[in-house]
Amino acid sequence: MSVPNPANMEAFLNFFKSDMIDNPPAPRDYLRIPPNLTPEWEIFFEKLAVFCENSCGSVNGIPNNTHERVAWEKRQWIMEDENLNEFDMWLTATNTKEKGNEALRNGESEKAFGLYMLSVRTFPCPDAMNNLAACALKENKFSVVEQHTTNALTIGYLTNPVKRAKALYRRAKAHFHLGKFKEGLKDINLALELQPGETAILALKDELTQLSDTVASAASLKRYLDQQPQPPAKISWSQTLNKSGKLIEGWQYDKLSKDSPLRRAPPLMY
């Protein structure tokens, strides 16, 4: 068998990499939606496909948000390597979220945060997103709160009024600390429509209303932002790897059997 010319091989690889960057797969190609679904599950996974397209910043079916595209692509590789489909990813994410809830009940907030993040990256379940936002709020990671509450509210799965109100309240709280008072007021008013008279929501509305009137100039906004609580100091890469290793020790993907009744039952309501 002949050996390829190294220069030609390098040129081919460079062309391949360039082609993948300039012509990435359509976001839907990152998903492994199983066949022969019930109509309810078809709708459920169609919402996932739309969410994937939106998170990739898709224009005419072509993703242009590189960071998100890479995350979805890595997820696709895992599914191919482990022979998983979206049912398996959904089941794994749901079980991982429950482990996060257990960690939170045991006072292990950092572990819970990591498990919720792992759950969300496995499958974008809004309950895990909402819980992740609650943990991030306690750690003053306000941009993380903003991102995941927005995802929870827009993916199309979150229908429970109380849970939607919680997501809106947490995003409004993040907006409060990020100096986005108008956005915060919009969210808090929507939360009040879902939970009229809720004390915490009313209190935050009063604070946002006052701040929108008093913090009006660029200088006053800068002073306000400088006074906001900061997230914990970033840890080193080696520390991150060590924590991640402990987090996923014994963790594995759950596979939904082909004859599981879950495949025929309606999807969970969030």
Q: What is the 3-state secondary structure of the chain?
A: CCCCCHHHHHHHHHHHHHHHHHCCCCHHHHCCCCCCCCHHHHHHHHHHHHHHHHHCCCECCECCCHHHHHHHHHHHHHHHHHCCCHHHHHHHHHHHHHHHHHHHHCCCHHHHHHHHHHHHHHCCCHHHHHHHHHHHHHCCCHHHHHHHHHHHHHCCCCCCHHHHHHHHHHHHHHHHHHCCHHHHHHHHHHHHHHCCCCHHHHHHHHHHHHHHHHCCCHHHHHHHHHCCCCCCCCCCHHHHHHHHHHHHCCCCCCCCCCCCHHHCCCCCCC
Q: What is the pLDDT of residue 8?
A: 55
Would residue 36 count as lying in a domain? no
Residue 14 binned pLDDT confidence (cut-offs 50, 70, 90): low
Residue 234 in this model has a pLDDT that exceeds 50: yes
Q: What is the pLDDT of residue 16?
A: 45
CATH code (residue 222)? 1.25.40
Q: Which residues pair with 59 in a beta bridge?
A: 62
Q: What is the pLDDT of residue 265?
A: 86
Q: What is the pLDDT of residue 269?
A: 81
Overall average pLDDT of the 27-45 stretch: 94
Overall average pLDDT of the 53-63 stretch: 72
Residue 251 binned pLDDT confidence (cut-offs 50, 70, 90): confident
List Cβ neighbours of 262 (8 Å cut-off, separation of 6 or more). 87, 91, 256
Q: How many domains does the chain have?
A: 2
Residue 112 in this model has a pLDDT that exceeds 50: yes
Same domain flag for 111 and 167: no
Maximum separation of any 2 CA atoms in the chain, in Å: 77
Q: Write out the two tokens for 138.
A: 């306690």
Q: What is the pLDDT of residue 10?
A: 62
Would residue 266 count as lying in a domain? no
Would residue 119 count as lying in a domain? yes
Residue 65 in this model has a pLDDT that exceeds 80: no
Would residue 252 count as lying in a domain? no
Query: The tokens 């994410």 sit on which residue?
Result: 93
Measured CA to CA, the distance from residue 229 to residue 140 in angstroms comes to 6
Would residue 41 count as lying in a domain? no
Q: Could you tell me the CA-to-CA distances from 32 to 75, 84, 247, 268 in Å, in that order?
A: 10, 8, 26, 19
Same domain flag for 115 and 146: no
Same domain flag for 118 and 152: no
Residue 15 binned pLDDT confidence (cut-offs 50, 70, 90): very low
Domain housing 158: 140-227
Same domain flag for 118 and 164: no
Residue 53 in this model has a pLDDT that exceeds 50: yes
The least confident of 15-19, 67-71, 143-147, 192-196 is: 15-19
The least confident of 3-7, 191-195, 198-202 is: 3-7
Same domain flag for 94 and 173: no
Same domain flag for 157 and 187: yes
Overall average pLDDT of the 11-34 stretch: 70
Same domain flag for 144 and 117: no
Residue 248 binned pLDDT confidence (cut-offs 50, 70, 90): low
List Cβ neighbours of 39 (8 Å cut-off, separation of 6 or more). none
- % of the chain at pLDDT higher than 70: 83
Would residue 188 count as lying in a domain? yes
Same domain flag for 108 and 174: no
Same domain flag for 169 and 220: yes
At 84-100, the pLDDT tens digits run: 999 999 999 999 999 99
The structure's pTM equals 0.86
Same domain flag for 96 and 148: no
90, 123, 156: which is the final residue of a domain?
123
Query: The tokens 């913090």 sit on which residue?
Result: 215
Would residue 214 count as lying in a domain? yes
Same domain flag for 148 and 82: no
The least confident of 6-10, 19-23, 199-203, 253-257 is: 19-23
Q: What is the pLDDT of residue 257?
A: 87
Residue 18 in this model has a pLDDT that exceeds 80: no
Would residue 170 count as lying in a domain? yes
